Structure 1
Amino acid sequence: MIRSVRTLSLGAVLLAASALTAPAAFAQEAPMAGMHMMQAPPSLNLSAYGEVRMAPDMATISFGVVTEAPTAAAAMRQNASRMTEVMAALRRAGIAERDVQTSGLNLSAQYDYVQNQPPKLRGYQASNRVTVTINDLSKVGTTADAVVAAGVNQIDGIGFGLQDSSAAEDRARQLAVRALQARAALYSQALGVPLGGIRSLTESGGYSPRPPSPMYARAEMSMDAAATPVAAGELTVRIDISGVYDLAR
């Protein structure tokens, strides 16, 4: 009697195990069959851009005062004296303090090198560089002349930009979208397939100031000389976009 009960119990366990295993195998096969039946809808992946050209309304000038002296203290003292005159010249030119920023202050030893001899200390060089933002382009040339007359002996470069680029960027976006829509319609017509809605849209690019161009300070200039001519030219604001359009089946 005890032996028959054990046999029935083992059979029940095997039956239950088989009952649990069969649906699991079926459940694994069902999604795979559905995946084979699904196909990605046809689509167009296109890109376009919009550009706006406009005149800049601001400029930045980077310049510096470089002095040399036998001692470090003397080099720094001479540099500070000349830079004080430069700052005063900027104020007289109508440049606000908030538009003047120190961009570099350096002191380094200077050596003379002769072949087969150890380096010989010549003195020390002090350098003080500032970057000035000019919001009135008519003052760019006169400002450059004023700081040179006050003691600047190194002008690193000048760059032009926009005080507010949002309007130009928005106009470029509109032109980019129109170009993208026209390109999508052209492909749809050429393929003979109706164009669906847009699935996604991405943007890149935007306004970036023009890199500074080199300028060189004049060692000598007369106070009655004409202002240094400066041509601002035009800036290009470009927006790049990419879009994915659905095509009707």
Structure 2
Amino acid sequence: MLSTRIARTAHVAAMAAALAGAFAATALADDSNGNKGGGNGRPDGVRGRQALIKVSGEGRATAAPDMAIVQLSVVKDAKTAREALDANNKAMAEVLAALKQGGIAERDLQTSGFSINPQYHYPQNNDGSNRPPELIGYQVVNGVTVRVRELSELGEVLDKSVTLGVNQGGGIEFTRDKPDDVITEARKAAVADAIVKAKVLAEAAGVSLGRLIEISEQASRPEPVPMVRSMAKESAADAVPIATGENTYNVTVNVTFAIDQ
């Protein structure tokens, strides 16, 4: 009995010693890792955070447009919707036929709006109160978007369209059919601008600029040169004068560099 009790006591003592040794080894390893690099007991995620420089770069490139997008509409009024529609159809058919005959391809003509609107007169009584509105007719509007790829012919296209019945519109957007080369130039300028900014910040902070960590581009759109002109038949005696100007394409990039300390 006594010998069994002594054996159990010795076994428990051995297990306790083994556990104590394991805990001591773990604590020693943790302490060693915590002191690596002069640690001060902060969590690894905080202690190991890399110093970074984040900047934005902007690039801009300009180019002359090579295409114009024109919004044209035919507006016709009549006593009945049928009469207004018939008159509008006749005028728009003549406009489209003339545009095609003038070299505008089918793919560059697209109907962009169509509406039939009742027209009302709002009479008043002698005392200033309103009487029920009176239907006096209908208005039909048919709009077409035209892509003019030969800018030298744009003035003639506008003049001919007005002569044939276009009496509303005139919104013009000058653009480039394929702006990829210009946008690439703006991208390169944006990255170069970001690098210059990062170097200036690093020098001011007394550190060295490290490797490139991340680069991304913000969504951007070109700045087209818009032109809005009110058109009427009596003002279309000569070809409409056109000034195309230039388009500006802007690109913004976000760049992150590491800091070498």
Report TM bin, short chain: 0.7 to 0.9
Structure 2 residue aligned with 1:191: 205
Amino acid aligned to 2:175: G
Structure 2 residue aligned with 1:240: 252
Assess if the C-alpha contact under 8 Å between 2:225 and 2:246 holds in 1: no
Deviations 1:94-140 (A, max 9, x none): 11111000001110110001122110000111110000000111011
Classify 1:33/1:143 alpha carbon distance in 2 versus 1 (closer, same or farther; 3 Å): same
For the pair 1:165 / 2:179, whether they are aligned, the reply is: yes
2: distance between equivalents of 1:150 and 1:209?
32
Amino acid aligned to 2:233: A
Residue among 157, 160, 163 paired with 1:149: 163
For the pair 1:132 / 2:146, whether they are aligned, the reply is: yes
Structure 1 gap ranges (5+):
1-7
2: distance between equivalents of 1:104 and 1:137?
24
Assess if the C-alpha contact under 8 Å between 2:167 and 2:233 holds in 1: yes
**Considering only aligned residues, what root-mean-square deviation do their CA atoms show, in Å?**
2.6
Structure 1 residue aligned with 2:71: 62
Amino acid aligned to 1:68: D
Classify 1:36/1:157 alpha carbon distance in 2 versus 1 (closer, same or farther; 3 Å): closer
Structure 1 residue aligned with 2:54: 45
Structure 1 residue aligned with 2:85: 76
Q: Secondary structure at the match of 1:83?
A: helix
Assess if the C-alpha contact under 8 Å between 1:93 and 1:146 holds in 2: no
Structure 2 residue aligned with 1:88: 97
Deviates more, 1:48-57 or 1:213-222: 213-222
Structure 2 gap ranges (5+):
1-7, 35-40, 125-129
1: distance between equivalents of 2:44 and 2:218?
35
Deviates more, 1:165-174 or 1:209-218: 209-218
Displacement after TM superposition at 1:208 (Å):
2.9
Assess if the C-alpha contact under 8 Å between 1:169 and 1:207 holds in 2: no
Give the number of the structure whose alpha-carbon radius of gyration is greater.
2
Deviates more, 1:107-116 or 1:186-195: 186-195
Q: Secondary structure at the match of 1:105?
A: strand
Q: Secondary structure at the match of 2:137?
A: strand
Displacement after TM superposition at 1:191 (Å):
1.9
Q: Secondary structure at the match of 1:94?
A: coil
Assess if the C-alpha contact under 8 Å between 1:160 and 1:209 holds in 2: no
Q: Secondary structure at the match of 1:230?
A: coil
Amino acid aligned to 1:73: R
Alignment map for 1:205-244 (pairs within 5 Å) = 205-208=219-222, 210=224, 212-221=226-235, 225-244=237-256
Residue among 100, 109, 121 paired with 2:118: 109
Q: How many residues align?
A: 227
2: distance between equivalents of 1:88 and 1:148?
14
Assess if the C-alpha contact under 8 Å between 1:205 and 1:238 holds in 2: no
Q: Percent identity?
A: 35
2: distance between equivalents of 1:49 and 1:131?
33
Amino acid aligned to 1:213: M
1: distance between equivalents of 2:131 and 2:246?
54
Structure 1 residue aligned with 2:137: 123
Assess if the C-alpha contact under 8 Å between 2:191 and 2:253 holds in 1: yes
Structure 2 residue aligned with 1:3: none
Q: Secondary structure at the match of 1:220?
A: helix
Deviates more, 1:114-123 or 1:34-43: 34-43
Deviates more, 1:235-244 or 1:203-212: 203-212
2: distance between equivalents of 1:85 and 1:135?
21
